Amino acid sequence: MIKNLIKRTINKLGFDLKRYNSKNKQFNFDDLLKDKISNNPIIFDVGGNKGQSIEKYLKIFEKPIIHSFEPIKTEFDYMYSKFKNNKNIFLNNFALGDKTEQKEINVTAKTGNSSFNKINLGTDWLKIRSKQYNTSEEGYVTSVQKVNVIRLDDYCKENNISVIDLVKIDTQGYEDKVLEGSLNSIKQNKIKAIVTEIMFDNVYDKYFSFSDIEKFIVPYNFRMIGISLSNNSLFSGLIFDADVYYFNKNFYKL
């Protein structure tokens, strides 16, 4: 009787009362990774910055082995001070790309925005960011540094890594080059899952469509399984980008 009374009262207010079914629980993306990927995965963190992704994966997985790549020395040193005592974390002070080379990177006031691509002047994003960091638009790039770049395929060969459970790529418009340098591993089904950022805004002088990413992975058994948007409109917020999740169909039933 009490249950029916409560239900009628809630219905009059315009709501519906239903029994909670745990089987219908909607996963967020961290839950998805935890559910699908081994508790002891090998993870490549491409674009380590200050170690934000390392901290995230240490919370999601029980005993992850993480190889992180950060070319900017100050950020690498910061990560090293945080994680140097964890024997399952391998920190690398270089970038991943499509070939072995030295390349100039534009280091920005907020180092997470640093990129091999040039930043476009005059955008709303840059106007706001430069004010936040008390500098001019031209001064938002604080320095241009030469850094080392190698291919993911070569790194795996040199370190005898035969399978990677997850590759996360956040390189501010250099994601396609990272994938190009991973093609042998992709073709040979050595990578199980990829999470890559795709930027649709005009912050940099280069931006992506999905085809720029998918041409390297979709022909080799990868399928998009989710998109996490920073903003849901190109015309709102500071920047419009997304983390896109791809799983290899040879490893996961989708």
Query: Tokens in use for 84?
Result: 């140097």
Residue 192, in any domain of the structure: yes
Contact 179, 208 (CB under 8 A): no
CA angle 23, 24, 27 (to 5 degrees): 100
pLDDT in tens, 31-89: 888 888 988 999 999 999 999 999 999 999 999 999 999 999 999 999 999 999 999 99
Residue 26, in any domain of the structure: no
pLDDT in tens, 194-205: 999 988 778 899
Query: Tokens in use for 171?
Result: 């390189």
Distance CA 157, CA 205 (A): 33
Residue 152, in any domain of the structure: yes
Residue 162, in any domain of the structure: yes
Helix (H, G, I), strand (E, B) or coil at 208: coil
* 254 pLDDT above the threshold of 70: no
Q: Closest Cα partner for 36 from 192, 195, 221?
A: 192
The total of other beta-carbon atoms located within 10 Å of residue 220's CB is 16
Residue 175's CATH number: 3.40.50.150
Q: What range defines the domain where residue 107 resides?
A: 40-248
pLDDT in tens, 101-156: 999 999 999 999 999 999 999 988 899 899 999 999 999 999 999 999 999 999 99
**What φ, ψ does residue 146 adopt, rounded to 5°?**
-85, 130
* 193 pLDDT above the threshold of 70: yes
Residue 71, in any domain of the structure: yes
Residue 8, in any domain of the structure: no
Run of H or E including 11: helix 2-12
- The model's pTM: 0.86
pLDDT at 59: 95
Residue 207 or 7, more confident: 207
Residue 10, in any domain of the structure: no
How many distinct structural domains can be found in the chain?
1
Residue 4, in any domain of the structure: no
Helix (H, G, I), strand (E, B) or coil at 190: coil
